[in-house]
Amino acid sequence: MDMTTAAGLWLAVILSGLYHGLNPGMGWPLAVSSALFERRRSALWPALGALSVGHFAAMLGILLPFSMMTLLIDYQREIRIGAGIIVIAMGLYLAVTRSHPRFLARIPPHRLAVWSFLVALAHGAALMLVPIYLGLCALDELDAGHRAASALMATTALALGVAVLHTIAMIGSGGALAYAVHRWLGLQFLSRSWFDLELVWALSLVVVGVVGVWTAF
């Protein structure tokens, strides 16, 4: 993998994190709600922290199994194609159904980390990272004698790095927007400028999946 490709993939990790953070479906309005309910701005930070913990756990929950699968060096292309197809299928499903899982609405506000974890899984946020992550692995460049010994540690560390960087970008953008709404923009911003990213989100999953399948070839 050349430096330009690697830099592009890491940039995709960051941009997808920013995208997830700005998407209200990933939870930043709940942080605003928490601060308004408790009537103190400092309540934003524990809420955002809980959202980031849940999102991070969801990223690892999806990426770690794929990091184990990359040990199957001979089937790396098939794994990447399969992952891309799964992401495309998830995007098409969300585009067609356009509905939110009802069980998410029954999770109490004090369990934001659980809610964030489940919503990242239910809406495919974690899946969106898989083709990007698999593109970064590049295990085929290792010589045969070192593959078995280093692959597990290398890919697991990479999965952790991707999840950390992505979550930092996610909570940074979402937290900045939550703070701006609470400090300056107010609830009128939500009522007048609410942006529904549901269809855009679904189509972006399809695009990421298609790119993942294409790069596998």
Helix H or strand E encompassing 162: helix 144-180
* Whole-number Å distance between alpha carbons of 155 and 76: 13
* Whole-number Å distance between alpha carbons of 1 and 188: 48
pLDDT of residue 146: 43
> Encoding tokens for residue 194?
């609410």
* Whole-number Å distance between alpha carbons of 191 and 76: 47
**Residue pair 50/113 in contact by the 8 Å Cβ criterion:** yes
pLDDT of residue 52: 96
Per-domain boundaries in the chain:
26-216
CA 28 to chain centre: 14
pLDDT of residue 145: 42
pTM for this predicted structure: 0.83
* Whole-number Å distance between alpha carbons of 184 and 90: 36
Q: What is the mean pLDDT of each run of 10 residues along the chain (217 residues)?
A: 78 92 88 88 92 95 82 73 91 82 71 91 88 74 46 72 94 94 80 68 90 84
Closest by alpha carbon to 55, among 20, 87, 16? 20
Neighbour-count burial for 38-53, b at 16+ CB within 10 Å, e otherwise: eeeeebbeebbebbbb
**Residue pair 59/126 in contact by the 8 Å Cβ criterion:** yes
pLDDT of residue 66: 82
